[in-house]
C-alpha cells in the first residue's frame, strides 16, 4: 500500500499531534486529571496509614485508633472510588470523542482525494483504517494516557513517602530504575515496529475477505473455496504471528520488571534490617516502606505494558495522519456558474497515468480533439482499454489532463469551482451505485425534492410501474446497492436520479450493456426522454443503440481514429464498421 511504504516518522511528534486532537476536550481531561490526582493521593495516604496502624494499633495499641483508623480507611476508599469514576468517565468520553472526530475527518478527507488515490488503495483497506486504526488510537489517547498519568503520580508520591521515611532504603531501590527505563525504551521501539505490520495486515485481511464475499457466486462455481480459505488463512496467520510477538514482548517485559522489582525489594529489606538494628527504623516505618514498594511494582508493570498500546496507537495514528496530510483534489477555480449551456470542447487533450511500481507513466489518451454542442449526442466507442471511460472522467475532473485543455462554454474546466462544475453533470453508469435506503431516498440523492417531483422523475424513467408494486412504494428499502432490485430496475432508479438532477451535461457509461432486451428497451426509452436539450456523452457497447447519435468518436489505444455519424462511419469501412459487423454477426437476431 502506498501509505505503508512511506518512511516512519519519529514517534513523539505523531503522539503529540494525536494528543492535540484530545486537547479539544480539555474540560473532560481536567476532570480526569483531578480524579487521577485524588486517586494517587488517596493511595499514598493509605500507605502513610501503615505507620500508625502498626505502631499505634499493634506495637503500642492506642484505643482511639480502633475507631479512627477504620474510619480513615473507609473514607479514603470512598473518595478514591468517586475519583476513579470521574477519571474513567472523563478519559473514556475524551478518547471516544477523538475516535469519532478522526473517523469523520478521515472519511471527509477520503471524499476529497483525487480519484487516482482510489486506484492505488482498495476500499477495504480504507475501511480498515476507519474502523481498526481509529480504535487503536482511542487506546493510545485515553487508556494509555490514564495509565501513564495515574500510575506515574502514584509512583512519584510513593517515592516521596519512601524518601521522607528513609533516604538510604529508597536509594537502594532507585539503583534499579535506569534498568527499567532502558527496558521500557526498547519495548516501546519494538512494539511500534510490530504494530505497523499489524495495521497493514488488517487492511490486507479486510480486502481479502471483501473480495471473497463479494465474489461468492464465482468462488462457488469455480470451486475456489479452498483457494480463498488458504489465502485468507495465510494473512490471518501472519497477523497472529505479529500479535504473538507483541504479547511475548509484553509478557517478557512484565516478567523482567517483576524480577528487577524483586531485586529492588530485596535491596530494601537488606538495607532496612540494618537501619532497624541501629534504631533508625521502627516497625511501622518498615511496613510503610514495604507497602509503598508493593504499590510501586504493579504501577511499574502497567507503565511498561502500556508501551504496546501506545505503539499500536502511534502506528495507527501515523497511517491516519498520512491520509489527512494527502494532497486533495485541486480546486483553484474562482468562477461561479449557475447553469451552463453545456458546450464542451476538447483541445488536443492527453492523459497519462502512473501505476505503483511503474517508472514511466502510461498513456491513456493522446491528442483528443472534438466539440460536443448543447442538445447533441456524442457517442464514444472502441475496443476495451481504448480510453473511453478515461475520456468521460475528465469532464467532472475526476482526472486532470496531462496536456491540452477542456473548456465548458468557452472557459477551461479548472476556472470553475469544482462543486459548481460537477453540479452541471449527471452520470448514469453500467455499475449503478445505490444506497441501503428507500427508493425515494435514492432518487432524491441528486437533489432535494417533494414527493410529486420524485414521482414525476420516476415516471419519466419508466420506474413508477415497478415502484408502485413494491410493498411500501417509494418508502420500500432496496438493500445494499439495490440488491433487492433487478439490474433494469436499478438502472431506471439511476436515470430517475439523473432526471431529478436536471443537469445540462449527461454522461452515460454503457448504461444498457448488461441488461436483457426488455429492460434495455425500458431504459433506452427513459434515456430518450432525458437526453433532449442536454450535451450527452454516451459510451456505447452495443452500437445499435447509438445509430441516431449526432457524432460518433472511435477510439483505439487512446487515440481518436475516426469521427462521423453512424452512417458515415459504416460507409467509410474503418474500425467502426469492423466493430459493427462483428456485433451484427454475433447477434442472435
Residue at a domain's end among 459, 477, 502: 502
Which of 269, 304, 324 lies at the terminal end of a domain, its last residue? 324
Q: Coil, strand or helix: which one is 404?
A: strand
Under 8 Å between Cβ of 490 and 466: no
Name the domain boundary from 465, 482, 502. Answer: 502
Helix H or strand E segment including 345: strand 344-353
d(CA 267, CA 442): 73
The answer to the question of residue 392 being in a domain is no
- Alpha carbon distance 501, 282 (integer Å): 87
CA torsion angle 439 398 345 410 (round to 10): 90
Per-residue pLDDT, 312: 77
CATH number at residue 98: 1.20.1560.10
Instruction: Say if residue 31 is in the same domain as residue 173.
Output: yes
For residue 448, is it within any domain?
Answer: yes
**CATH no. for residue 473?**
3.40.50.300
pLDDT at 5: 41
Residue 238 falls within a domain, yes or no?
A: yes
pLDDT at 325: 92
pTM listed for this prediction: 0.74
**DSSP code for 415:** G
How far is 337 from 349, CA to CA, in rounded Å?
24
Residue 419: inside a domain, yes or no? no
Residue 77: inside a domain, yes or no? Answer: yes
Residue 449: the pLDDT is 80
Is residue 572 in some structural domain? no
Same domain, 311 and 446: no
β 403-408/411-412 pair status: antiparallel
Helix axes 283-324, 144-165, angle to 10 degrees: 150
Q: In whole angstroms, what is the distance from residue 412 CA to residue 403 CA?
A: 13
For residue 340, tell me if it sits in a domain. no
Angle formed at CA 517 by CA 512 and CA 521, multiple of 5 degrees: 65
User: Domain residues for 66?
Assistant: 11-324
Task: Look at residue 388 and tell me if it is in a domain.
Answer: no
Question: If the chain, 589 residues long, is cut into consecutive pieces of 10 residues, what is the mean pLDDT of each piece?
Answer: 46 85 91 94 91 82 83 92 93 90 91 84 81 80 84 91 84 70 69 71 77 73 79 86 82 77 77 75 83 82 75 83 89 88 94 62 82 92 88 92 93 92 87 85 83 88 88 89 84 86 87 65 75 86 79 92 91 87 62
Nearest to 456 by CA among 495, 487, 513: 495
| Domains identified in the chain, total number | 2
CA distance 458 to 473: 12
Between CA 102 and CA 118 the distance in angstroms is 20
* 320 and 450 assigned to the same domain: no
Amino acid at each position: 500500500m502506498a501509505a505503508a511504504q512511506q518512511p516512519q516518522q519519529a514517534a513523539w511528534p505523531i503522539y503529540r499531534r494525536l494528543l492535540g486532537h484530545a486537547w479539544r476536550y480539555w474540560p473532560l481531561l481536567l476532570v480526569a486529571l483531578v480524579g487521577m490526582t485524588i486517586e494517587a493521593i488517596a493511595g499514598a495516604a493509605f500507605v502513610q496509614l501503615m505507620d500508625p496502624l502498626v505502631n499505634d494499633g499493634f506495637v503500642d495499641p492506642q484505643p482511639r485508633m480502633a475507631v479512627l483508623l477504620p474510619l480513615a480507611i473507609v473514607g479514603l476508599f470512598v473518595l478514591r472510588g468517586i475519583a476513579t469514576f470521574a477519571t474513567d468517565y472523563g478519559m473514556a468520553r475524551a478518547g471516544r470523542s477523538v475516535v469519532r472526530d478522526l473517523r469523520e475527518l478521515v472519511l471527509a478527507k477520503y471524499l476529497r482525494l483525487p480519484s487516482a488515490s482510489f486506484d492505488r488503495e482498495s476500499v477495504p483497506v480504507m475501511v480498515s483504517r476507519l474502523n481498526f486504526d481509529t480504535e487503536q488510537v482511542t487506546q493510545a489517547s485515553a487508556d494509555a494516557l490514564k495509565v501513564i498519568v495515574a500510575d506515574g503520580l502514584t509512583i512519584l508520591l510513593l517515592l516521596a513517602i519512601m524518601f521522607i521515611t528513609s533516604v538510604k532504603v529508597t536509594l537502594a531501590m532507585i539503583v534499579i530504575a535506569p534498568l527499567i527505563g532502558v527496558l521500557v525504551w526498547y519495548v516501546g521501539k519494538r512494539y511500534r515496529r510490530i504494530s505497523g505490520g499489524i495495521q497493514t495486515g488488517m487492511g490486507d485481511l479486510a480486502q481479502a475477505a471483501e473480495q471473497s464475499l463479494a465474489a461468492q457466486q464465482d468462488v462457488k462455481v469455480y470451486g475456489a473455496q479452498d483457494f480463498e480459505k488458504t489465502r485468507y488463512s495465510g494473512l490471518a496467520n501472519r497477523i497472529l504471528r505479529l500479535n504473538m510477538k507483541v504479547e511475548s514482548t509484553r509478557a517478557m517485559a512484565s516478567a523482567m520488571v517483576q524480577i528487577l522489582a524483586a531485586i529492588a525489594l530485596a535491596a530494601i529489606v537488606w538495607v532496612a534490617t540494618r537501619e532497624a538494628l541501629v534504631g533508625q527504623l521502627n516497625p511501622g516505618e518498615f511496613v510503610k516502606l514495604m507497602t509503598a514498594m508493593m504499590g510501586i511494582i504493579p504501577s511499574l508493570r502497567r507503565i511498561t505494558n502500556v508501551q504496546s498500546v501506545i505503539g499500536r496507537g502511534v502506528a495507527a495514528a501515523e497511517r491516519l495522519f498520512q491520509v489527512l496530510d494527502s494532497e486533495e483534489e485541486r480546486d483553484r477555480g474562482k468562477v461561479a456558474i449557475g447553469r451552463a449551456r453545456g458546450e464542451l470542447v476538447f483541445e488536443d487533450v492527453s492523459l497519462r497515468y502512473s501505476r505503483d511500481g511503474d517508472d514511466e507513466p502510461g498513456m491513456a489518451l493522446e491528442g483528443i480533439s472534438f466539440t460536443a454542442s448543447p442538445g447533441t449526442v456524442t457517442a464514444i466507442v472502441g475496443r476495451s482499454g481504448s480510453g473511453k471511460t478515461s475520456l468521460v472522467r475528465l469532464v467532472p475532473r475526476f482526472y486532470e489532463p496531462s496536456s491540452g485543455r477542456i473548456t465548458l462554454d468557452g472557459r477551461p474546466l479548472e476556472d470553475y469551482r469544482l462543486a459548481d462544475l460537477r453540479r452541471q453533470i449527471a452520470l448514469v453508469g453500467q455499475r449503478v451505485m445505490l444506497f441501503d435506503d428507500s427508493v425515494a431516498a435514492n432518487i432524491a440523492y441528486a437533489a432535494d425534492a417533494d414527493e410529486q417531483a420524485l414521482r414525476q422523475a420516476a415516471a419519466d424513467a419508466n420506474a413508477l410501474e415497478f415502484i408502485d408494486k413494491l410493498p411500501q412504494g417509494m418508502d420500500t428499502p432496496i438493500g445494499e446497492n439495490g440488491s433487492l432490485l433487478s439490474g433494469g430496475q436499478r438502472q431506471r432508479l439511476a436515470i430517475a436520479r439523473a432526471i431529478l438532477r436536471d443537469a445540462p451535461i449527461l454522461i452515460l457509461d454503457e448504461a444498457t450493456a448488461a441488461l436483457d432486451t426488455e429492460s434495455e428497451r425500458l431504459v433506452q426509452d427513459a434515456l430518450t426522454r432525458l437526453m433532449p436539450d442536454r450535451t450527452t456523452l454516451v459510451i456505447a457497447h452495443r452500437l445499435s443503440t447509438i445509430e441516431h447519435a449526432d457524432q460518433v468518436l472511435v477510439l483505439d489505444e487512446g487515440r481518436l481514429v475516426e469521427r462521423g455519424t453512424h452512417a458515415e462511419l459504416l460507409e467509410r469501412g474503418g474500425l467502426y464498421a469492423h466493430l459493427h459487423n462483428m456485433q451484427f454477426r454475433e447477434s442472435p437476431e
